[in-house]
């Protein structure tokens, strides 16, 4: 796993990927610091991070689009399968390399609150709590990007899908206001999600019985719950969209509250999508 991580880090720093990633992140945070902390004379550095959170739409695809897609395109994933390590170790090694590249510009950003504290009153616990949440949220988005990269050998397609997914998650709270809040509308939407989950399981496992069984069981369970008490479905879909938003949970930290449940949610997203990435590689390995 460490060998894979070192190999990936050499690849990032021997190309422009790590430098473009770091420069873009520092540039956006720098612009935010100038607008909020300098021009507007606001001492809350966490507002800068909230302003900069949309940068993940660009920087996450830059880092993750090639992490597994390039291996598939060049057929070098066959070499990975021949190494005396497991697929889990391969995915974790690549993911740790992504985190290392992410931590370098973030370490520079950690100096900003200390500098601003020399010229005004900056509440450091909130600032550094928000920086930590910013890191974990970025790590969760990178895990999503790694999984999407594992689904294709086309880097451009992987980047495009990652951008679309992150944008949807960023604006999901705003979009939830235009989504049907009726019980029947929520039921239909959840049924569609259950069917999509079945297709995902079929793609990852090639087990049609398991995939269709899970999808059918979820659809039947939703139908039974709807017949028992349809009122529980009223406004359910907008509420689910709000709860699944990674960016909305980050706003809690910006408001000065260290939300442990949000950290647990981010870690759960990381574990879930890394597991899916492993399963995606395993499927290709045995094919």
List pLDDT tens digits, range 24-44: 999 999 898 888 877 877 778
Q: Tokens in use for 131? A: 């920086």
> What integer pLDDT is reported at residue 101 of this predicted model?
92
C-alpha 218, offset from chain centre: 25
> What integer pLDDT is reported at residue 74 of this predicted model?
67
What mean pLDDT comes out for the span 230-241?
A: 77
> What integer pLDDT is reported at residue 82 of this predicted model?
66
Please name which of 231, 233, 163 lies closest in space to residue 191, comparing C-alpha atoms: 233
Higher pLDDT, residue 82 or 113 = 113
Higher pLDDT, residue 206 or 154 = 154
- Whole-angstrom CA distances from 98 to 50, 106, 145, 224, 259 are 22, 13, 11, 44, 25
* SS3 sequence of 37-52: HHHCCCCCCHHHHHHH
pLDDT at 188 exceeding the cut of 80: yes
**Burial of 133: CB neighbours in 10 Å, binned 0-12, 13-18, 19+:** buried
| Number of other CB atoms surrounding residue 52 within 10 Å | 20
> What integer pLDDT is reported at residue 78 of this predicted model?
65
Higher pLDDT, residue 92 or 242 = 92
pLDDT at 207 exceeding the cut of 80: no
> What integer pLDDT is reported at residue 286 of this predicted model?
59
pLDDT at 176 exceeding the cut of 90: no
What mean pLDDT comes out for the span 231-253?
A: 82
| Number of other CB atoms surrounding residue 127 within 10 Å | 24
> What integer pLDDT is reported at residue 134 of this predicted model?
94
pLDDT at 93 exceeding the cut of 80: yes
pLDDT at 137 exceeding the cut of 90: yes
Least confident of 12-16, 70-74, 162-166: 70-74
- Whole-angstrom CA distances from 287 to 47, 94, 206, 210 are 48, 22, 10, 18
* 26 vs 92: CA distance, rounded Å: 26
Please name which of 65, 206, 73 lies closest in space to residue 147, comparing C-alpha atoms: 65
C-alpha 176, offset from chain centre: 19
> What integer pLDDT is reported at residue 194 of this predicted model?
83
List the chain domain ranges.
2-160+247-286
Task: Give the N- to C-terminal CA distance of the chain in Å, as an integer.
Answer: 23
| Number of other CB atoms surrounding residue 98 within 10 Å | 25
> What integer pLDDT is reported at residue 184 of this predicted model?
78
Inter-helix orientation angle 87-109/56-64, to 10°: 140
| Number of other CB atoms surrounding residue 132 within 10 Å | 15
pTM here? 0.86
| pLDDT band (50, 70, 90) for residue 285 | low
| pLDDT band (50, 70, 90) for residue 77 | low
């Amino acid at each position: 796993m460490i060998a894979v991580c070192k190999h990936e880090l050499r690849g990032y720093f021997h190309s422009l990927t790590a430098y473009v990633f770091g420069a873009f992140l520092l540039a956006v945070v720098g612009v935010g610091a100038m607008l909020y902390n300098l021009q507007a004379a606001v001492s809350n550095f966490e507002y800068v991070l909230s302003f900069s959170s949309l940068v993940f739409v660009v920087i996450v695809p830059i880092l993750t689009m090639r992490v597994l897609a390039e291996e598939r395109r060049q057929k070098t994933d066959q070499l990975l399968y021949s190494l005396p390590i497991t697929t889990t170790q391969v995915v974790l090694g690549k993911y740790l390399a992504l985190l290392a590249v992410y931590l370098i510009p973030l370490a520079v950003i950690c100096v900003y609150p200390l500098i601003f504290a020399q010229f005004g009153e900056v509440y450091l616990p909130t600032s550094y709590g928000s920086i930590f949440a910013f890191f974990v949220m970025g790590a969760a988005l990178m895990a999503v990007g790694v999984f999407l990269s594992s689904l294709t050998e086309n880097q451009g397609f992987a980047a495009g899908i990652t951008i679309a997914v992150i944008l949807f998650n960023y604006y999901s709270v705003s979009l939830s206001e235009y989504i049907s809040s009726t019980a029947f509308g929520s039921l239909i939407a959840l049924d569609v999600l259950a069917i999509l989950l079945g297709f995902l399981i079929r793609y990852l496992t090639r087990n049609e019985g398991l995939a269709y069984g899970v999808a059918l069981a979820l659809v039947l369970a939703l139908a039974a719950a709807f017949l028992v008490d349809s009122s529980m479905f009223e406004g359910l879909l907008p509420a689910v969209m709000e709860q699944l938003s990674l960016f909305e949970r980050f706003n809690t930290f910006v408001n000065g509250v260290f939300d442990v449940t949000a950290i647990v949610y981010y870690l759960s997203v990381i574990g879930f999508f890394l597991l899916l990435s492993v399963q995606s590689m395993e499927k290709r390995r045995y094919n």
